[in-house]
Structure 1
Amino acid sequence: MLKRIGYTAGGFVLIGVLAVAILWGLSVGTVQFSLSQIFNIVMDQFSSPLAIDDPLNGPEQTIIWLLRMPRLLMAAIIGAGLAVSGVIMQAIVKNPLADPYILGISSGASLGATVAILFGIGVMFGENFVGIMAFIGAMAISFGVLFISNLGGRPNSVKLILGGLALSAVCSSFSSFVVYLADDKEGIQTITYWLMGSFAGAKWDMLPFIAVVVLVSIIFFWSQSRILNMMLLGDEVAITLGRDLHTYRQVYLIISSLIIGFVVYAAGMIGFVGLLIPHLVRMTIGTNHWTLIPFSALGGSIFLVIADGLCRCIIPHAELPIGILISLIGAPTFVYMLVRKNYGFGGE
């Protein structure tokens, strides 16, 4: 009982930290605002909302409500989705080094974006065709991994990893081949920037759909905490307990890939979040997915909101792609976790 109360209090603390991080993110950037300005603009918008093209919109209203608020909310949603996807992938393949991109999903998304930018494939989808093609690529690779893992018998965590690695290598090779054939300097620069990740393109009309997909998926995985705990024990133990994890593993992989596909569509490629956040949470509260999933979601949200704010203030009058900053933070942290003797699913 006391432990449950402690977890509840910890959750409210993280929600408070997330709210503070969003307020800080609204205040920093090329143009800085005080908390009183932010509060007044947000309250005015709630009391009498203005349309995007309303002439009454002042520069402060435009910057805070139309530019910074949607990108920070998008960062929070995507951070939660990436962190929870990392939790699920690590349980599916029973590997503490897994992250949302281990099964080749990132390479599939990269290939989809590459052919869209360099060859114009998918322009019928409208102005967001690059993100949509990346989403299609990510989902196609996910189903490809499932297909390969089912060849020659029932799939398991090892076959999923090997199938993902094989398809990742194929997609990376095709992406390089497409870039070589295209000989388009401007297109290559666009691909490079897109692969670095950014929330600059976040808009209010994008948020509801992505938020519903990510939050509903997180709630679903939260309801599956018992099965996810069982996955860490292995298939043999699960069968003795009356559970066949074969179907669960495939369903979880598809839903996780759905989250990653929409993340890639909205913000490009952002790594390390799904690898680092779950382990930091495990080292704090343990391995029970009932608490691990919501705490990882909040941790991922806080992490990306703060990272997005830092990207807008590290370099004066410029914005650092968030993928670069995340890699600079994530790589040394990952090395540190590797050398820890109790590295694994919760340590010793």
Structure 2
Amino acid sequence: MRLVSSRQLTPGTVVAREVRNGPPGTAPLVLAGTRLTDSMCRRLATRGVQAVWVDDELGEGIEPLEALSPDTRDAAEREVTATLAQARERLASGQQLQAQDVERLRGVAASIATEVAALPEAVYALSEMRTADHYTHEHSVRVTTLGLLIAARHWRDHGWTDHRGRQRFDRVPQRMTQLGFGLLVHDIGKLAIPRDVLDKPGRLDAREWELIRRHPDYGAMMLNHTTTSMLAISVVRFHHERWDGAGYPRGLAGRRISELARIAAVADVYDAVRSERPYKPAKPPHVGVEVVEEGSGTAFDPAIVATFRQLVMPYPEGHQLVLEDGRDAVVVSVDPERPYRPRVRTQDDDGTVREFDADFTRTPVQA
């Protein structure tokens, strides 16, 4: 299978994976195995679906490994949506997130962490169904999935650092759950920010920017330390801090930022670059990877970035590319040791399918 931009879909194309773009719990827009009609192609584009997994000769034999099963992802998105709706109501009366809400989301985090920990050693495909209308809950679940992937690999290889600076390899499942909960609600403080400020297409003025800079603190205040681990709260409060001290709200630097928040910062920025928003289009994977790589040692912890680079490829399996000569190509496989030299497949005008190792180290390609 391969991932094709909705703008390039043609009648007769067979959908490989169901397409969802409604609120959690709604029926799929298109079922797997559906042969698209002209009206379906137009509908997918107008409904904000960015790309669709399809089955055809060019994508034959390609099976990208999803980091999270559809059932787990759907359940997580339902819980996040319901909890944020309740949190918005309680915020109006000055209440914090309730213990039962925390417990439900902690269960979701544990489910995602368990699934991530059981994955085989591989390079993963992250969910590609990104629409501006449902950004909040989709972003939370995607950031949680990626953050837990990074943590699982990083703590397996390097251990985690305790408050005395010691490297430890115990209690990883518990830390994964705390990190997962913090990631699920990392942007809960944005509930206190007016929607017209969050979605403003132009430059923020000084007052609006100050509101945005407060959302980590707002989020931390919505969590009760008697029901929520301080580790999880640190993710909410510090995920916008930067390795060089240029972040907010405290301007912390280096290891003064909690390790969980440093992981969250990488996952959050990558997904934000990759996501469709009302004020900016989604960028292809190689742009998201380059943003993280370029921030190593300034915005982000270099050790966390090194783990990220082992997991997230600039040109993932199944993704469609337009080569320098204008031909369409699909990534067949990629070696994490040579991420900018994936094996790609093209089809000539006479139908002949060819494979070769591409070199994208110098010339970026359009995804």
**TM-score range for the pair, normalised by the shorter chain length:** under 0.3
Give the TM-score normalised by structure 2.
Answer: 0.25
Q: Which has the higher strand share?
A: 2
